[in-house]
Homo-oligomer: A and B are copies of this chain.
Amino acid sequence: MVMSKPIKSRSKNLKRRKRLSPAWQLCMPMTAIVLLFWSVAAVAQEAAPPDPTATLTVGLDTVWVLLCAFLVFFMNAGFGMLETGFCRQKNAVNILAKNLIVFALATIAYWAIGFGLMFGDGNPVLGTAGWFVGGADNSPATGDAYEGIFGALNWTGVPLFAKFLFQLVFAGTAATIVSGAVAERIKFVSFLIFSLVLTGILYPISGHWIWGGGWLAGMGFWDFAGSTVVHSVGGWAAFVGAAFLGPRLGRYSQTGATAMPGHNMSIATLGCLILWLGWFGFNPGSTMGVGDGAAIAHVALTTNIAAAFGGVAATFTAWFYLGKPDLSMVINGILAGLVGITAPCAWVTVPWAAVIGLIAGVIVVFAVTIIDGMKIDDPVGAISVHCVCGVWGTLAVGLFSQGPDGLIYGEGGGPAKGLILGGGFEQMIPQIVGILAVGAFTLVTTAIAWAAIKAIAGLRVPEEEEIKGLDISEHGMEAYSGFLKEA
């Protein structure tokens, strides 16, 4: 036998509340934990000899959730390559460094407070327990459970640490979305502070409303894998950040917008394929369990179908409007389809998944144009992909859901029948409320955060550093030493 006793080194009594101040002393979380963990008592208790079938079920569910978490983790590489490739060479080191450190910071912030705010016992607005993942373990093996909120959600029984890791990689995704939109001009330290605030405080609060048993969950808003929870939150934060920062030097002039082509389409395309791969963890893993395999297979298929239709739709839309099959539009179309299917993936049939992806692929092409027309400079199209298509995917739940009798996922749960399928506005209304509430909350709070960071540390690098490139000025190195570059 490999293991027969559950992990018990986390105390249920740990109820201290800690808020990380978003100051530039980023090492505070580290010192905080050094002070804190001595209070984590190891409470040993006896577990009843487990039923072999129950052990196997939780074991299989844990394997599934962990492997999906690993795939979602790998999306950090996807975002990193995509964003770096889509930006200019002189800022490559900066973008790589941001994308690499941001998940490390997200880990610390979400571990220390984010997970507690999002999933801890509390009230409909935020969780108020479970700091440092010090909550109860509700795995069947321990027979324990978060009270109240998790009971209501009927969450499955994988070990707490597996749930945490899965949720952590989602939180990390929200922060990397922002990275792309603010690239090539933001100060490194300012981005790090914002990432801590987003993953430690803001993302968890609106997430609590939906996945933590909060008020939006209570009114019947549904978002299976995070079109709103993750993507639109990241997208709204990106929008505010790009607006606060202003466009890159020389991007817009009286004669119009100047294209600033990315420097490495090979790694950008690789990034897109890594993201597509990661989405097979993102969506199917959000079942948090395997059951008889039907739901995970269904979600994997709707996810892939939407990606394919999104990619093809964007390719031909761009081909028709721009005259060429633009590679960056193929990439963004695939991502648009993936973001669009994220909320409804478990509750719609495969043909409707195709429609959702197809529409997302068309939307993204025009969204890029419109946002560019607003002179919001988003080097990688993050706002169009994640915010606009995140909103679309959330609406799609209200339009295309099979409803509780559709039997695609769950039993008695899930969204009501969609508008197009004859369900009227029953599901549309909470979806619209959710979109507006999360959008407004994120717009306001990230605006406050960006403004505070601007006041404390400044947002934008000096003009001469931007011209020279952030790699030399911020990091003292260049990405491609030995290659000759254009002046």
Copies in the complex: 3
Q: Check if B101 sits within 8 Å of A66, measured CB to CB.
A: no
A220: CB under 8 A from chain B? no
Segment of A209-217, A259-267, A438-446 in the binding face: A259-267
A352 within 8 A of B: yes
A366 within 8 A of B: no
Partner pick for A100 among B269, B287, B405, B475, CB 8 A cutoff: B269
User: A92 contacts which chain B residues (CB < 8 A)?
Assistant: 265-266
Q: Which residues of B contact A301 (CB under 8 A)?
A: 133, 161, 164-165
C-alpha gap A338/B266 in the complex (Å): 25
Query: Which one, B67, B97, B132, B267, contacts A351 given CB within 8 A?
Result: B132
Whole-angstrom distance between the alpha carbons of A165 and B305 in the complex?
Answer: 10
CB-defined contacts of A103 to chain B, threshold 8 Å: 308
Contact A7 B408 (CB under 8 A): yes
Contact in complex: A408, B316 (CB < 8 Å): no
Question: CB-CB contacts of A244-275 with B at 8 A, as 1s and 0s?
Answer: 00000000000000000111111101101110
Interface-lining segment among A69-77, A371-379, A388-396, A456-464: A69-77
Decide: A274 near B141, CB < 8 A? Known: A349-B40, A482-B486.
Answer: no
* Residues 27-76 (chain A) with a chain B CB within 8 angstroms: 27, 30, 33-34, 36-37, 40, 42, 44, 50, 52-53, 55-64, 66-67, 69-71, 73-74, 76
Nearest B-chain residue to A154, judged by Cβ: B1
* A477 CB-CB contact with B under 8 Å: yes
Task: Decide: B159 and A104 in contact? CB cutoff 8 A.
Answer: no
Q: In the complex, are the beta carbons of A316 and B26 less than 8 A apart?
A: yes
Check A325 against B276 for contact (C-beta < 8 Å). Answer: no
**Most B CB within 10 A of own CB, among A63, A111, A158, A292:** A292
Q: Are A406 and B61 in contact (CB under 8 A)?
A: no
A222 within 8 A of B: no
Of the candidate stretches A119-127, A227-235, A326-334, A428-436, the one touching chain B is: A326-334
A297 with B165: in contact, given A97-B325, A277-B73, A482-B89 (CB under 8 Å)?
yes
Contacting residues, chain B, for A323 (C-beta < 8 A) = 476
* A483 interface contact, C-beta 8 A: yes
At the interface, yes or no: A16 with Cβ under 8 Å from chain B? no
Do residues A265 and B2 form an inter-chain contact, with CB atoms below 8 A?
no
Given A5-B407, A288-B2, A36:B276 Cβ within 8 A: no
Tell me which of A80-88, A178-186, A200-208, A447-455 binds B. Answer: A80-88
Which partner residue on chain B sits nearest A290 by CB separation? B59
Complex Cα gap A8–B81 (Å): 39
- Across the interface, A292 reaches (CB within 8 A) one of B59, B284, B354, B358, namely B59
**A246 CB to nearest B CB, Å:** 23
A111: chain B residues at CB < 8 Å are 305, 350
Are the C-beta atoms of B327 and A93 separated by less than 8 Å? yes
- Cross-chain contact B486 with A298 (CB below 8 angstroms): no
Asked if A351 contacts B407 (CB within 8 A), the reply is: no
A408 touches B9 (CB 8 A): yes
Confirm or deny: A289 has a beta carbon within 8 angstroms of a beta carbon on chain B: yes
8 A-B interface contacts by CB (under 8 A): A33-B355, A55-B291, A58-B292, A73-B277, A111-B305, A267-B270, A324-B477, A328-B477
* 3 nearest A-B pairs in the assembled complex, by CB-CB distance: A62-B293, A37-B351, A107-B308
